[in-house]
Structure 1
């Protein structure tokens, strides 16, 4: 199946600056997922640069209310949102402990709370939520006319057409390290002169192993990432290279480059975060030591750069940078992602949801490592023809996800039962 022609206006374009509330003084920022890895690093950047950024609202799931209350107090926010309703009493108590006799910030509670703060009065919304639950806040921020610093790749993956229908040129700034790298490299040339996007992958803990050698790897093996410290789900996605498949879909959606012009290359050192090859043969690479400070600073500060946002290389020391082709037999996830990306519509949502269920099963000991992708492939095949085009709705996405999760759990249960009997 051939790729459709590239459309004239990519979602993320470094040459276009969407500035909804231009003016003097610090940018007003809302941080979604503030107690997670991206959120805590973003808050550290803000606290080090009070002349550039001011946080007006925070949201979190509710698992770390003491940290959320401490963040709210340090930043002096107007609003704090928590998704889990059962966490609200503990949050109020934690805020009371932080604020004492001072008035508490506004507290929003429930599954729609993050979307509410995403639409609040601010310049930039940083979506650092993990998982497809980030879709509603992404859509809310775009509809409200905010600049969206997007670290929640799943909302773009599962709701690509919905996001594209709302986003204005330059309104989205990518925060993933790979897409922030592509964003910066694309700034060095014209889009018409782009030949290829090259997305780098560390290769994870199993680089160089064959599919047969992956059959008996353990959870501990999969969580031993060689270069990045991440949560368990993202780390397993790195081990299967599902994360790279998702990033290929994301790159296609962000930059409107056909799938056959997006390549994945293994780069174990994780120094080069991605590259752009131009038609004259030049390749522009963006490189820093592995650290998310730089991409977060690009998301919040673009078109300005934030001094000392991330460490730089020490060029007085020798180093070796290696690049290897991807083994598609051992790691079929990237080609599968290209397939569902071409299908579009609800297909990427099915892929992502099935994978999340299978990773959970693997972490719980109910599925072998190779069983993750074997099950995801089967769920994608059974999904059949996805809902596509302008008829796609949020309900379609949620319905497809619900079916994919249920089917993945059913297949996983069968696999675990069969292994127990063997």
Structure 2
């Protein structure tokens, strides 16, 4: 299901720095992603600013000359928001907001805002609000947020207590309340997972916007929301799927991203439990994206953080219909050949060959290209796990048609 975007976009500029660990090409990739994040959140990127530095300026992230350049530009071009590619410290955010006199966000704040927009269920909204409060707490100084006094005003402040101390106490109380609420929901979710019995569990994992929900709809015949934006899916969807005669549970999880805020990893812990408790991972990769190898590394890093990196995994290289390698003319002797010039066959002969043919798939979930091979491979992997779990089951089931049911 696609949705037409009719919003009035907020005019923004992006800011990043070039360092020894983040060369110009890498910064360009990050700013491309930040621009997509900005569009997803409802912004229009008018200009990008970058500066080569050994390390970020501890006061204003970029140098004073670059700050003056940004300030002049936002005044002359009616810019309402400046977004920095890296997480700003509380003091940096305070200083920059004072110097530029406009709304200042960092990458973490932007991602949290997108999550807040996308959260639909009470569970997701609670997780996002917890992450927002944890991000906000050290940044209250000088922000004068004037948070709503849900406890009332009289008797709220202690002797000599300042407004900022009051705000901090309210946020800390809110964090404690949200954590207690999540503990209750976590227990409910654990009971739900326990009620699913001993069925084999398969989880779709991968970078955001790689086509996990499209694949979920194709294999599970379900109606998961699909949109060409980052983090279109926040709430985990679980379906009971039957391929030929074999039932299993398939879950679609939240997408990962580079520089994922630590607050989100913590607050979405229970959502990631679907990955932790899965028997088989389908790691979906958008092979048409020029940085898909970096995406794989980012996903593997998060899987390692949640101790799920050693699970049986099938690498599903999606969007082969959109993969178009860069072409070098025969008489072009100047252009150096890189991996961006690889054909799909050439990619298959690289490090992907070490994964083994049984652990790699190349498909298009949209066009259902190579889809029968995908279904067969998933069936064989699930069947292998099922036989291990039920050694006396000889699969003497009737040859059912493929079906799908809600598993929750």
Q: TM-score, normalised by structure 1?
A: 0.26
Q: Which has the larger radius of gyration?
A: 2
More RCO (CA 8 Å, sep 6+): 1
TM-score, normalised via structure 2 length: 0.26
